[in-house]
Amino acid sequence: MDRREQSLGPRRKGLRPRDAAYLIIAVWLLAVIAFGVIEHLLDDQTFPTVWLGMWWALQTVTTVGYGDVVPQDTVGRAIASILLLGGLSLLSVITATITSNFVARAERLHGDDAERQLVDEVRKLREEVERLRVDGR
């Protein structure tokens, strides 16, 4: 185990951000398929094919919403609300994951130099304190 792993203490349990993003993407991909099928079954006049229902669900979950196909009944609009809120969370998690990867990379690149400088400063301060202690006796 190297110094950095020792300083981090026990390994954290739970999902890493990247794994969480993959999980959310998979869940919402399945949601697009499921809600597309459901919309087709509930409103076959507006969504005559399952593919059109999935196209609408994809537009909704990605918050694009071209408006070319829109649910006409209350249940369809409730489903749209769920997809819209889910789409916002999906985009937020993906953005946060990308950002955290950039931050982690920057810490890896610059963290070693900063750590080395800090260790050098501490060493110099210890030497100074020891010299003062010896001179003060």
3-state SS assignment for residue 64: coil
Stretch 49-64: mean pLDDT: 89
CA distances from 132 to 12, 19, 47, 122, 123 (A): 42, 53, 83, 15, 14
Helix (H) or strand (E) holding 60: helix 50-61
Residue 14 has pLDDT above 70, yes or no: no
How many residues are given for the chain? 137
Task: Single out the residue of 31, 16, 20 nearest to residue 93, CA to CA.
Answer: 20
Residue 78 has pLDDT above 60, yes or no: yes
Reported as a single tens digit per residue, the pLDDT across 31-49 is 899 999 999 999 899 999 9
- The rounded mean pLDDT for the chain is 81
Contact 51, 83 (CB under 8 A): no
Task: Single out the residue of 80, 79, 93, 85 nearest to residue 24, CA to CA.
Answer: 93
Residue 80 has pLDDT above 90, yes or no: no
Residue 91 exposure: Cα atoms within 13 Å on the Cβ side = 11
Structural domains in the chain plus CATH codes? 16-109 (1.10.287.70)
Confidence tier at 9 by pLDDT (50, 70, 90): very low
Reported as a single tens digit per residue, the pLDDT across 81-90 is 888 888 888 7
